[in-house]
Structure 1
Amino acid sequence: MEERLNKVRSAAADKEWLQFQLDNADADLRDAIREALEAGIRAEDLVGAAELTLEQIRRIGRSE
């Protein structure tokens, strides 16, 4: 029983760590998109690289 509890605890910790990494990656992507837009790159040109829709990129560009 203890082994199974440890496995659950480990999986929960892994999930928490991966969520933290994902949140940081999302923030980095938003920052990079804002910087690219501020540098004059068109939102349409970021769609493929960012793997987001044009509306998502525009929404990121409008947010701070």
Structure 2
Amino acid sequence: MTDGEMTSSLVRELIESIDDWRNRYMDLGYELGEVINEQQDVIVAQARRIKHLERANWNLKKNKRRR
């Protein structure tokens, strides 16, 4: 193998390695996006629940004062 062929081979291997890492990084990004969306759904649901409970608590306090 000549120096030029070795260099060409190394460049090809490097490009393949970069492509592989790029694909892995993209897959990781998609997975993290899914996790973030799921967590945001949980956060929104909890925020709604807290708002509901705060309103119920406020109503109970108001009704208690009226008695």
TM-score grouping bracket, smaller chain normalisation: 0.5 to 0.7
Indicate the residue corresponding to 1:54 in structure 2. Answer: none
Query: Shift in Å at residue 34 of structure 1?
Result: 0.2
Question: 1 or 2, which has the higher helix percentage?
Answer: 2
Counterpart Cα distance in 2 of 1:33 and 1:7: 38
Unaligned runs of 5+ in 2: 1-25
TM-score, length-normalised on structure 2? 0.59
Unaligned runs of 5+ in 1: 42-64
* Aligned residue pair count: 41
Structure label with greater radius of gyration: 2
Comparing both chains, which one has the higher relative contact order based on Cα–Cα distances under 8 Å and sequence gaps of 6 or more? Answer: 1
Identity over aligned residues, as a percent? 7
Counterpart Cα distance in 1 of 2:42 and 2:31: 16
Query: Shift in Å at residue 2 of structure 1?
Result: 1.1
Counterpart Cα distance in 2 of 1:36 and 1:6: 45
Query: Shift in Å at residue 19 of structure 1?
Result: 0.3
TM-align CA RMSD: 1.2
Counterpart Cα distance in 1 of 2:41 and 2:31: 15
Counterpart Cα distance in 1 of 2:27 and 2:54: 40
Show structure 1 runs of 4+ deviating over 6 A.
Answer: none
